[in-house]
Chains A and B, each alone.
Chain A
Amino acid sequence: MDALILARLQFAFTIAFHIIFPAFTIGLASYLAVLEGLWLTTRREAFQRLYLFWLKVFALSFGMGVVSGVVMSYELGANWSVFSRAAAPVIGPLLGFEVLTAFFLEASFLGIMLFGWKKVGPGLHFTATVLVAIGTFISAFWILSANSWMQHPTGHAVLPDGSLIAVDWWKVVFSPTFPSRLAHMLLGAYLTTALVVGGASAWRLMTAPTQPESRIALRMAIGMLAVVAPLQLVAGHISGEVVRHHQPLKLAAIEAYWETRADQPLSLFGLPDRKAGKTQFEVAIPGAGALAQGVSRETVLQGLDAWPRSDWPVVWLVYWGFRIMVGLGLAMIGLGLWGAFLVWRGGPERSRLYLWAATLMAPAGFVAVIAGWVVAEAGRQPWVIYGVLRTRDAVSPVGAGQVSASLLAFLIVYAIVFSAGALYILRLLHRGPEEAEQAPKPEDRAPGSALAAPSEAGETPP
């Protein structure tokens, strides 16, 4: 294998690993802010217990997100030095702003969130939680902005020597695909968190059906799903329309439109065959493509044949990534509405079937987020900056030996970190929030603050 394919594998692996954590912690930080706010206003202990419980999960996942994110800021230069040089005049400042506006904020106030319980008052502690939550949003803003520019670059000019220069920063930051993609990502992060919180609570309720914190958390998760999952359908549809306007080739790959024509079919399932230029074993609804795209049946939609084959992405990857994402999104809507119905009819914890469904759907958000990113990123190949720089021209002058050695090392280290992190988080979720306040066993003792012993601070009776 050559350095290019290895560098691509390495980037795909490290970024897919990294996105798992922001996808979860963006929503979880907001959830923690809501829980702490509810606790401060209602003084109900259940909210505090939920806060302390999910804070532990947050600390574990946020740590993994931070360290896997540090990798990205150096990997760009190490493996993609030509890209980073070409893109720096335009999106370099965006990445710089991400560090200045988000990373420092999150890192500094996370310390107060985790260890400052005894050092600051409740108001200030709540402020720290809110600032961390805001930091996760700002971070998503800048990185999505930079990525959207790479998807559909605007606001720049090409100088005579071939290098890029920004001419309109507003157009660079707010490139046309950015607003809808940011909304889609943030809603996706909220759904991911709601599914994990709901799934973990459902799991607890199967063995402890009266557990008050889990009952509250499950209802909160259902509320979030019932509102946000349908909203995500709308946001996803808008994002799709933006793709149709600005990235028609990606749309053709998503829908497996092989030929340019009016009245496209709506392909449901099949195996896109790039060589044969058709979808094998296809199940499609003739004439429904226009309806799905929200255009008239007379509108001509471009197919893959409108572009040279050398510009095509890997069609099956984009096609299936999209179907997995949408399928899971529809399942989330179902889970939310079903849950809302059960809440109305006397309680979701009475339906064992629902508790199982919620538990099984717990990881669905992660899968959907990764599948969605595969659609976005594989769908713009073979370009790294669309229409400006091809991926194969963006790679560093580094030998395949070094890249394969580092890829192997990343695989091993990430496997260890991921297995241990998943084990510790699942162990916590299995124990549930009711044990969060119990005095830790002596060997579990860890200094820092007294989050696990609020009775010491006189906040609540033990």
Chain B
Amino acid sequence: MSLDLPLIWIAVLGVAVCLYVMLDGFDLGVGILFPFARSPRERDAMMSAIAPVWDGNETWLVLGGGGLMAAFPVAYGILMPAFYLPVILMLLALILRGVAFEFRLHGRKRGKAFWTAAFTGGSLAAAFAQGLILGGFVQGVTVRGEAFAGGPFDWLTPYSLLVACGVVAGYALLGAGWMMIKAEDQLHRDARRWAALAAGATAGFLAAVSLATLWIHPRVAARWGFDGQALDFDRLLPLLPIPLLGLAGLALVAYGLMRDRWALPFVGGLMVFLSGFAGLAAGFFPLIVPYDIDFRAAANADNALAFLLVGVAILLPVILGYTAWVYWLFRGKVDVDAHYH
């Protein structure tokens, strides 16, 4: 068999992580925007706009973790200890906001207030922790003998804090875009305002993170054709569509907000994330643990990759199919007065 299994797997994992960020991104974003709702009724509407799909969205994160272990165990075994504290923070935050979907309906006065806060705080903390992990990843991980050899707070730098703020702003943009699609009247107008603010913040952080990355990480900068003094257009040119996609996304958000086209800001937000993801891939491929280990060196045994790939080939299309169907089923404006409890 002449299939390049590690290459296929890095692509599969890339798709999983990208889908996770875009899908859970908007439901975490709705959680981040939760405190800005005008009334408990609006919060109910926001929650029910994501309640049927959040669990499926989060499953892409499990596929990311499980897939990383199954396909690139060396990377899994280095990255998890390297990002130990932010990973644990993310998990705890996801627990609190995940149970809040049901618990909030059962809590009485104080309980309900607590789970409302837990939903917001958990969504915010999960997004922030993911940003810290991303920032730490770009900074690189200290590796010795295929094991993590750095300190417990290596990931904590001004740069990773900046990235974390950017992720929070970006998720808020996705969440606001989603609520523009799902909500009517006052809540829709609020979501439009949130989207405008979040889009401004996202654009600002995106620019700051891009510049900081080129400034602090010369190896990434070299990939993009910046070597400190001169600009290598031959290197930059083929990569130029990536930032252009992000800019087009932001333009689409702005256009959609001005014309109040319901789905355009959300689609624009997705384009921004897609561009960010492609930018990362272009900056790091083939590294999976920056800046020491490439994905081939981290890959699992070929027969394990092949065995699970059979499952992926059959099941991933099925999963995408029924996921799309569920989204189709719950399309349209959210019904604030419908209740199931």
Do A and B associate with each other?
Answer: yes
The answer to whether the Cβ of A225 comes within 8 Å of any Cβ in the partner chain is no
Q: Is the CB of B80 within 8 A of A99?
A: no
Q: Is the CB of B340 within 8 A of A77?
A: no
Q: Is the CB of A85 within 8 A of B77?
A: yes
B334 proximity list for chain A (CB < 8 A): 447
Q: Is the CB of A76 within 8 A of B48?
A: no
The answer to whether the Cβ of B79 comes within 8 Å of any Cβ in the partner chain is yes
Kindly provide the distance from the CB of A54 to the nearest chain B CB, expressed in whole angstroms.
13
The answer to whether the Cβ of A1 comes within 8 Å of any Cβ in the partner chain is no
B51 proximity list for chain A (CB < 8 A): 111, 114-115, 448
Closest to A169 in B: B307
Q: Is the CB of B62 within 8 A of A73?
A: yes
Q: Is the CB of A451 within 8 A of B326?
A: no
Binary CB contact string for chain A from 243 to 258 against chain B (1 if under 8 A, 0 otherwise):
0000000000000000
Known pairs A77-B81, A81-B78; A108 contacts B322 (CB<8 A) = yes
Binary CB contact string for chain A from 91 to 118 against chain B (1 if under 8 A, 0 otherwise):
0110111111101110111111011111
The answer to whether the Cβ of B245 comes within 8 Å of any Cβ in the partner chain is no
A63 proximity list for chain B (CB < 8 A): 98-99, 101-103
The answer to whether the Cβ of B259 comes within 8 Å of any Cβ in the partner chain is no
Give the interface size class of chain B.
Answer: 35 or more
A73 proximity list for chain B (CB < 8 A): 62, 65-66, 69
The answer to whether the Cβ of B204 comes within 8 Å of any Cβ in the partner chain is no
| CB-CB contacts below 8 Å: A57-103 with B | 59-60, 63-64, 66-71, 73-78, 81-82, 84-85, 88-90, 92-93, 95-101, 103
Kindly state the separation between the CA atoms of A117 and B339 in the bound complex, as whole angstroms: 11
B107 proximity list for chain A (CB < 8 A): 420, 424
Closest to B314 in A: A100
| CB-CB contacts below 8 Å: B288-339 with A | 300-301, 303-304, 307-308, 311-312, 315-316, 319, 322-323, 326, 329-330, 334-339
- Among listed B146-154, B158-166, B249-257, B269-277, interface-contacting one: B146-154
Kindly state the separation between the CA atoms of A453 and B104 in the bound complex, as whole angstroms: 20
Kindly provide the distance from the CB of B313 to the nearest chain A CB, expressed in whole angstroms.
10
The answer to whether the Cβ of B21 comes within 8 Å of any Cβ in the partner chain is no
Binary CB contact string for chain B from 46 to 69 against chain A (1 if under 8 A, 0 otherwise):
011001110110110111011111
The answer to whether the Cβ of B73 comes within 8 Å of any Cβ in the partner chain is yes
Q: Is the CB of A60 within 8 A of B98?
A: no
Closest to A71 in B: B91
Kindly provide the distance from the CB of B129 to the nearest chain A CB, expressed in whole angstroms.
11
Q: Is the CB of B73 within 8 A of A89?
A: yes
From A60, A75, A417, contact of B95 by CB (8 A):
A417
Known pairs A84-B73, A89-B73, A118-B338; A396 contacts B316 (CB<8 A) = no
Q: Is the CB of A77 within 8 A of B301?
A: no
The answer to whether the Cβ of A427 comes within 8 Å of any Cβ in the partner chain is yes
The answer to whether the Cβ of A120 comes within 8 Å of any Cβ in the partner chain is yes
Known pairs A96-B67, A445-B339; A84 contacts B58 (CB<8 A) = no
The answer to whether the Cβ of B17 comes within 8 Å of any Cβ in the partner chain is no
A351 proximity list for chain B (CB < 8 A): none
The answer to whether the Cβ of A409 comes within 8 Å of any Cβ in the partner chain is yes
Q: Is the CB of B341 within 8 A of A444?
A: yes
Kindly provide the distance from the CB of B71 to the nearest chain A CB, expressed in whole angstroms.
7
- Among listed B82-90, B170-178, B207-215, interface-contacting one: B82-90
A76 proximity list for chain B (CB < 8 A): 69, 80
The answer to whether the Cβ of A421 comes within 8 Å of any Cβ in the partner chain is yes
Q: Is the CB of A78 within 8 A of B326?
A: no
Q: Is the CB of B338 within 8 A of A77?
A: no
From A71, A107, A397, A421, contact of B103 by CB (8 A):
A421
Q: Is the CB of B341 within 8 A of A452?
A: yes
Closest to B328 in A: A119
Closest 6 A-B residue pairs measured CB to CB? Answer: A77-B80, A88-B73, A92-B70, A451-B340, A111-B52, A81-B77
27 cross-chain CB contacts under 8 A: A60-B102, A63-B99, A63-B103, A66-B55, A66-B98, A70-B58, A70-B91, A73-B62, A88-B76, A88-B300, A92-B70, A93-B304, A93-B307, A96-B311, A108-B55, A108-B56, A111-B330, A165-B303, A398-B152, A410-B88, A414-B95, A440-B339, A447-B45, A448-B338, A449-B340, A450-B338, A452-B341
Give the interface of B toward A (CB within 8 A). Answer: 44-45, 47-48, 51-53, 55-56, 58-59, 61-63, 65-71, 73-74, 76-81, 84-85, 87-88, 91-92, 94-96, 98-99, 101-107, 111, 115, 147-149, 152, 300-301, 303-304, 307-308, 311-312, 315-316, 319, 322-323, 326, 329-330, 334-341
